[in-house]
Copies of this chain bind each other. A is one copy, B any other.
Amino acid sequence: MSERSDVTIFVCVACRRRTGEGERAFDEPGRALVAALEERLAGGAATGVVVTPVECLAVCSRPCTVALSGGGKWTYLVGDLDAEAHADDILAAAKSFAATDNGIIPWKERPQAFRKGVVARVPPLGFRSFGDPS
């Protein structure tokens, strides 16, 4: 398996999203998102894409949150995602991500949800700043 050509979508399944005022008025949108992504992948929507549910990505305030990760690439954390509205966008972004060398998806290929929803990004291990002589 070549990790460089693959992409993992980590989906936070601990995120709670408010659905009303009551103490128990929330849903957990990550679980529906995992199901929606897996259904599409089983239907052949993309190859080389792995979906992994994670108990907590520690973002919490922007349910639900996913991370796109791949060997030697920047990792992107994106929040405010919903199964129904964004599953196709997330898979499209994952395919664009997989096609890059460094994980930085060209702006014009980024779904709207990814333009607005970035929570953070992290360079791959071994990254050196531009201009660094090493």
Q: Give A contacts to B, CB under 8 Å.
A: 3, 8, 10, 52-59, 65, 67, 69-71, 75-77, 118-123, 125, 127-130
Docked complex Cα distance between A57 and B57 (Å): 16
Q: Which of B53, B70, B120 contacts A57 (CB 8 A)?
A: B120
**A59–B119 contact, CB under 8 A?**
yes
Quote the shortest CB–CB distance from A124 to chain B (angstroms).
8
Quote the shortest CB–CB distance from A37 to chain B (angstroms).
14
**B53–A3 contact, CB under 8 A?**
no
Provided the pairs A52-B128, A129-B52 are in contact, do residues A10 and B123 lie with their beta carbons within 8 angstroms?
yes
Q: Which 10 A-B pairs have the closest CB atoms?
A: A58-B121, A67-B122, A59-B120, A77-B120, A58-B118, A120-B120, A53-B129, A58-B120, A75-B122, A69-B125
Q: Which residues of B contact A77 (CB under 8 A)?
A: 77, 120, 122
**A122–B59 contact, CB under 8 A?**
no
**B55–A125 contact, CB under 8 A?**
no
Docked complex Cα distance between A70 and B122 (Å): 12
Q: Which residues of B contact A52 (CB under 8 A)?
A: 123, 127-129
